[in-house]
Homo-oligomer: A and B are copies of this chain.
Amino acid sequence: MGKPTVLVIDDEKDLLELVRYNLEKEHFEVLTSPDSTKGLEIAQRQHPDLLILDLMMPGVGGLDICRQLRGDNATAKIPILMLTAKAAEADRVIGLEMGADDYLTKPFSPRELVARVRAILRRSSGEQPAAQVVRRGDLVIDTLRHEVKFAGKPIALTATEFRILEFLASRPGRVLSRDQIIDAALGQTAAVIDRTIDVHITSLRKKLGTGGAKIETVRGFGYKFRDDASEEAVSM
C-alpha cells in the first residue's frame, strides 16, 4: 500500500496549491482540479482515497458531486471532506446529510487540514480490524463479529454453541474429547456432565443443516471437525 491519494476540487487555484503543498509535505499523493466537472471525472476514474471538495463552486457545486459519487456504488465509499466558506449551520448540516464525512470552514489552518485528513483516512481504512475469520469451505466463522455463515446464510448460534464450533473448526481433523471441549468452550472451572456436549453438538448440527455433517462423531473418543483433505486455514 503506497501513499494515500487525495483529490482536491476547488475553483480557487491558490487554495488548491496551498492544500497540495501541505498534503504533499505530509506524504500524500495529491490530485487537484479547479473544475468541478473534470474533478468528478477524475474521482470516478481514479478512485482517490479521499476527496476534498469546495461546497461553493461555479457551475456544478460540491453537493452535486457528493450526490453523484454517493449514488454510484463504485464511488459511494470514498470519504469526502467538505470545504465551506459559510459558517451557517444550515450549510453544514446539508453537507453532512448529503454524505460528507467531515467539513472544514475556510479559512482553516494547514495543521487542522492535515489533522482532519489523517483522521478521516484512519477511520475509513483501518476501520475493518483484520477480522478473526476461520473459513472451512462453505462455513465462515467470524470471531470479532460473532457471526457464523454457512453457504452465505447467517446462522444464529448461542454463545456456547458458537464457542464449541469455533474450537472444533479451528482444529480440523483432530479428535477432541468431550473434556477438552468443555475446558475450551466453557472454561476449566465449569463443572458439567460431559454428555452436555452431546446436546450442544446435536443442536449445532441441526442449525447448520447440511453443514452439520462436518462435525463427525468419533465413537469412544469425542468429536472432530471434518478435514476435507485440503481446506486451508485462513485465520489472522
Interface residues of A (CB under 8 A from B): 14, 17-18, 21-22, 25, 79, 87, 89, 92-93, 96-97, 99-105, 107-112, 116, 119, 122-123, 127, 129-135, 138, 140, 142, 144-146, 149, 151-152, 158-160, 170-171, 173-175, 218-221, 224, 227, 233-235
Min CB distance A203 to B, Å, is 15
Min CB distance A99 to B, Å, is 7
In angstroms, Cα B101 to Cα A92, docked, is: 21
| 28 chain-A/chain-B pairs, Cβ below 8 angstroms | A14-B92, A22-B96, A22-B97, A96-B133, A96-B135, A96-B140, A97-B140, A97-B152, A100-B133, A101-B135, A102-B130, A102-B131, A103-B129, A103-B130, A112-B123, A127-B171, A129-B171, A140-B234, A145-B173, A145-B174, A145-B224, A145-B227, A146-B175, A146-B221, A149-B234, A152-B233, A152-B235, A159-B220
Choose one: B87, B96, B135, B171; the contact of A18 (CB below 8 Å). B96
B102 touches A132 (CB 8 A): yes
In angstroms, Cα B132 to Cα A79, docked, is: 12
Which of chain B's residues has its CB closest to A230's CB?
A: B128
Min CB distance A130 to B, Å, is 5
Given A96-B109, A105-B129, check contact A224 B146 (CB 8 Å).
yes
Given A102-B109, A152-B97, A235-B138, check contact A132 B144 (CB 8 Å).
no
Min CB distance A218 to B, Å, is 5
Which of chain B's residues has its CB closest to A116's CB?
A: B130
Residues of B within 8 A of A235 (CB): 138, 151-152
B105 touches A130 (CB 8 A): yes
A152 touches B224 (CB 8 A): no
A97 touches B175 (CB 8 A): no
B21 touches A97 (CB 8 A): yes
B220 touches A158 (CB 8 A): yes
Residues of B within 8 A of A173 (CB): 145
Given contacts A96-B109, A96-B135, A103-B130, 17 further A-B contacts (CB under 8 A): A17-B93, A22-B97, A99-B111, A99-B135, A101-B107, A101-B109, A102-B132, A103-B129, A108-B123, A108-B130, A112-B123, A127-B171, A129-B174, A145-B174, A149-B234, A152-B233, A158-B219
